[in-house]
Amino acid sequence: MCYLKELTFSCGHKGLSIRERCRATFSTNKETPFPPEYCRTGIRVTTTETSSAPCKKNCQRYHAVQTLSQRYEEAKKKIEKVSGRVLAVQKAAEKGLPVINFRNHGERGWDPRMLEKLYSQSLHDANSLLGEYSCVEKDLLEELEALYLAAKSDIKDYIVAYKGVSSELVSFDERQLEAFGNTAREQLRDLVCEIERRASEACLEKHGWALPDGDTEQCEVMLKRAAWKRGVLSGTRMDDGFVGKEQRETEYDIVPVQDTR
C-alpha cells in the first residue's frame, strides 16, 4: 500500500504527495513526489497539513477566499466599534457609584433620598445590561464566523473552455457577510444606547465616562435626558425624584463630594 500526504492550500484546493511507495505501485516516474498512477494494494492518506499559500499564483478560488475574508473582517470591525463604547461604560461602572451631593436638589423640589435610590438602581441596571451585551456580542460573533465558513465552503469552481483555451472561474456570495455586519451593528447599537442612558443616570461621567464620539443622535438624546442633573424635569424615570409643584429651570451641576466612607 502507498501512503500519501494531503496538503490543503489557503484557497481550499487540496494536493496529494507520496510519503511511502510500495512495490505494487505503477508510476511513469518513481522519482516524482506525486501519487502513483496505479497501486494494486491501494493508497491511504496518513498525513494532513495546511499551507498559508494558494495552490498557484493566479488561483481564482484564492482571490474569492481573500474577498470573503475581507468582508468578514469588516463585519467584525463594525461590531468591535460599538463594543468600544460598552467597554468605556464598563470601565467606569467597575469603580462603583460616584459620591454625589443631592442636597441642592432638595432645595429645589427634589427628594434627595429618592434620587439616591434611582441613580443606584441605574448602576445596577447598567451592570445587568453589560452582562446581556456580552452574551449577545458572543452569539453574533459566533454566527458571523459560521456564516463566513459557510460562504467559503459554498465557493464553486468552473472550468470554461473556448476555442481551445481553458479559463478558471469561481462563483461566491459576499453579500450575506456585509448585510450581517450592518444588522449586527444596529442590533448592538440599540443595546449600547440603553446602557449609556443608564450610565448617565448613574452619573458615571464622574468616573471619567463620556458621551460617545461620532454618534450625534445619541449625544443629543443624552443631553436632553440629563436635564434632571440641572434641576430640570427630563422626561425620564429620574423625574420620580421630583416632589415639587413646578419645574425649576435652574442651571447647575451636581457637586461631587469627597467619599468619607
The least confident of 90-99, 122-131, 211-220 is: 211-220
d(CA 250, CA 207): 25
pLDDT one-digit tens code per residue, 188-239: 999 999 999 999 999 999 999 998 888 899 999 999 999 999 888 999 999 9
Region 151-178: mean pLDDT is 77
Digit-coded pLDDT (tens) for 51-79: 777 777 777 788 888 889 999 999 999 99
Q: How far apart are CA 238 and CA 228, in angstroms?
A: 7
Average pLDDT, the chain: 83
Q: Is the dihedral of CA 139, 144, 149, 155 positive or negative?
A: positive
117 φ, ψ (degrees, to nearest 5):
-65, -40
The CA-based diameter of the chain, rounded to the nearest angstrom, is 102
Q: Which residues contact 197 (CB under 8 A, 6 or more apart)?
A: 221, 222, 225, 236
Put simply, whether the predicted model's pTM sits higher than 0.75 gets the answer: no
- In the numeric block, which cell numbers belong to residue 238? 429620574
Please check the confidence at residue 30 and state whether its pLDDT lies above 60: no
